[in-house]
Structure 1
């Protein structure tokens, strides 16, 4: 089941998936009408007008929205691959009248993305608001969404023989990249931005599988909204902080909870919610934590990872997920701690232990779990400064040095 975004509407019994297409560059409020506005209505003065792109240029880039360039479709409308006159490849998200992205979300995304730039956040190239159009133009992410890479693009977790299989190391690097992006949002110079809709379809991958967080339509700034209070429930099924339902206060720790669900998705390669399963298995967060409490999380991991994850790395990763999914927000770590632990889990995976000829794998697994690891990780300030400065993309494989 695709995860739908909820916005100021009660949950309805029998709501089904309306689209099995690839969800790129964010979703939208489900069953929500497009905010009406006249052609002559003006956008807020704090929007970056230098990012405006003419409708004529967008039609040129997409060959007048030719169907052969369609790369995604969902409740938000349609996403097209395009090429600007400059030769830059872009993703064009076009809201459709009646059910697409609302004006408020459209404005929020422009305001936030015009203030921030980071190699683990999807870059906004421009926007168009001509002729009642609401169009956002992003850098093109060649490998689509994390969800698409974890299981088949139609939402079916059955394996696709033609799909590139992500190794455990690659999955960890993707998680680290996404964590860096969220950490920057929470603590960066733009000031306390809460994403509000962290999920696997909002983590996109470029041609080198470098992760970038996208879709900021529901994002909130902590500076402008210190209590993070919102009327109505917003977010996506399966990812919402349980404490949020009680208080309607969304904080950085709510993003952390959602990211914990993403971590289990990465490990288990199944949706956050799957109503085709037994009731106790439908919620990935509940099902995963049930097996974690038993100390047997390895029994429900992606079959493709069996025998390919070091016991110590899996143990650390499971601990991170469990901490993120604590019922009480105060007991969850911040994104800097999550980033620290994920880097540690990657280092544990990469540790090479010299084996004697007579030693078998079980002996080495036991030894591996007993080895103390001293990692030199950067401070919070260093992480912010480093990521803010390094806008140029790399292959996402750089890791901190580790001594054993």
Structure 2
């Protein structure tokens, strides 16, 4: 289900809220009159539909919260839906008691005759699923890490931090249930399948009919019917690989699904090759290894070998911290990214060093690199070729062709001058007669 609004012609700047608990609404969850809902949705006007799911259609509308009109996502139960009163009241019960930065807030509900309606805070940037698979939004590696950390914090709160005797098992963690705020902070939604479970014993389970979404469904839960918090951990592990690889959990190109494919690829030493090409050049090898390790641990069987969400949060925050330090080192003022790479690695080792920053080296001329630097402070972009200290200039047109029109996948670093891109050897050979 999508609560999305807006275009896709920009790169998001994602922040992570640092407080662990917040009450977004000063007013408690309240019951709306049907007339208020009809007014907000213009009698459930089709033009106001912003998404749909197993429960029913979702409309955008303004509702009164205290004395203020706020944008809301209004979810109406479809009478033909497989869901019904059980899921409706479960959602109301859960979200009327829970308040956290990384959980979507329930403003209120309406229960009148056959109408069952849930009113949520409106999430301007829709679902993570939308941006990964439909809109193909340009989410950087740092952006994706921050989204994953937000979701992990929300799940950790559900499992252990609710402040009551029992924790909450979400039971349907997936990218379409991860909503993105206007500042791109991640929030978990859709608690219709959630269950209460004891927190004092990690593997204490709830016997329940198997429900969830294939591709994210814990195989142990599917086989035994025993629902634990580790079932949420498994689903989150799938989300981590979905974010890393930008593939759906049941991608048609994968014979056994994303989880199995990712595990097999790692076992075969192909981790680097499964990373989404848009972010492959942005990830440091150590960060990639740690991220993949925690994601793979989430998929472990038996469930007792999976980490807790507290462990997952700690690991992901460490990965983010390490990646940011790496990026800061690469952007140190007064020294070019290329010079730092040359200082750190001998010429002969750069090609096979496994570095996330993809410098291309010619097999025939092993001591030449080609780095495209988009110098924003100058009127003309230049192509710099590093060969025994010589520097040569190329035209802006040649720069665009060599960088494949400034493709994001070709960025190897960012600095005060702007983005730096890798260039292909063939372009140099083709245009060398035009060198100034």
* Unaligned stretches of 5+ residues in structure 1: 1-21, 26-47, 154-158, 370-404
Contact 2:153-2:313 at 8 Å conserved across structures: yes
Q: Which moved more, 1:184-193 or 1:347-356?
A: 347-356
Contact 2:177-2:189 at 8 Å conserved across structures: yes
- Alignment correspondent of 2:78: 96
CA 1:131 to 1:296, structure 2 compared with 1: closer, same or farther past 3 Å?
Answer: same
Q: What is the Cα deviation at residue 218 of structure 1?
A: 0.9
Contact 1:81-1:90 at 8 Å conserved across structures: yes
2:240 pairs with one of 263, 278, 288: 263
For 1:74 and 1:186, the matched residues in 2 are separated by: 25
- Alignment correspondent of 2:101: 119
Aligned pair count reads: 314
Contact 2:94-2:191 at 8 Å conserved across structures: yes
- Alignment correspondent of 1:66: 45
Kindly report which structure 2 residues correspond to 1:353-392, keeping only aligned pairs within 5 A, or say none. 353=329, 355=340, 357-359=342-344
For 1:341 and 1:230, the matched residues in 2 are separated by: 31
Structure 2 residue 174 is matched with structure 1 residue 199: yes
Structure 2 residue 53 is matched with structure 1 residue 77: no
CA 1:300 to 1:367, structure 2 compared with 1: closer, same or farther past 3 Å?
Answer: closer
Q: Highest Rg: 1 or 2?
A: 2
Contact 1:311-1:365 at 8 Å conserved across structures: no
1:252 pairs with one of 197, 209, 229: 229
Contact 2:159-2:229 at 8 Å conserved across structures: yes
- Alignment correspondent of 2:187: 212
Q: What is the Cα deviation at residue 365 of structure 1?
A: 9.8
Higher strand share: 2
Using the size of structure 2 for normalisation, the TM-score is 0.67
Q: What is the Cα deviation at residue 335 of structure 1?
A: 0.2
Q: What is the Cα deviation at residue 258 of structure 1?
A: 0.5
Contact 1:121-1:181 at 8 Å conserved across structures: yes
For 2:299 and 2:189, the matched residues in 1 are separated by: 22
Contact 1:317-1:345 at 8 Å conserved across structures: yes
CA 1:49 to 1:98, structure 2 compared with 1: closer, same or farther past 3 Å?
Answer: farther
Q: What is the Cα deviation at residue 316 of structure 1?
A: 0.8
For 1:223 and 1:295, the matched residues in 2 are separated by: 39
Q: What is the Cα deviation at residue 194 of structure 1?
A: 0.6
Asked which structure has the greater RCO (Cα within 8 Å, sep 6+), the reply is 1
2:266 pairs with one of 283, 292, 303: 292
Q: What is the Cα deviation at residue 75 of structure 1?
A: 2.9
For 2:198 and 2:281, the matched residues in 1 are separated by: 46
Contact 1:89-1:140 at 8 Å conserved across structures: yes
- Alignment correspondent of 1:313: 287
* CA RMSD between the two structures: 2.6
Contact 1:243-1:329 at 8 Å conserved across structures: yes
CA 1:237 to 1:140, structure 2 compared with 1: closer, same or farther past 3 Å?
Answer: same
- Alignment correspondent of 1:130: 112
Deviations 1:230-250 (A, max 9, x none): 343111101111111232111
Using the size of structure 1 for normalisation, the TM-score is 0.72
SS in 2 for 1:303: coil
Contact 2:285-2:354 at 8 Å conserved across structures: no
- Alignment correspondent of 2:255: 279
For 2:94 and 2:120, the matched residues in 1 are separated by: 13
CA 1:317 to 1:356, structure 2 compared with 1: closer, same or farther past 3 Å?
Answer: closer
- Alignment correspondent of 1:243: 220
- Alignment correspondent of 1:334: 308
Deviations 1:359-394 (A, max 9, x none): 45965996989xxxxxxxxxxxxxxxxxxxxxxxxx
Contact 2:124-2:181 at 8 Å conserved across structures: yes
* Unaligned stretches of 5+ residues in structure 2: 5-26, 331-339, 357-436
Contact 1:312-1:368 at 8 Å conserved across structures: no
Contact 1:310-1:365 at 8 Å conserved across structures: no
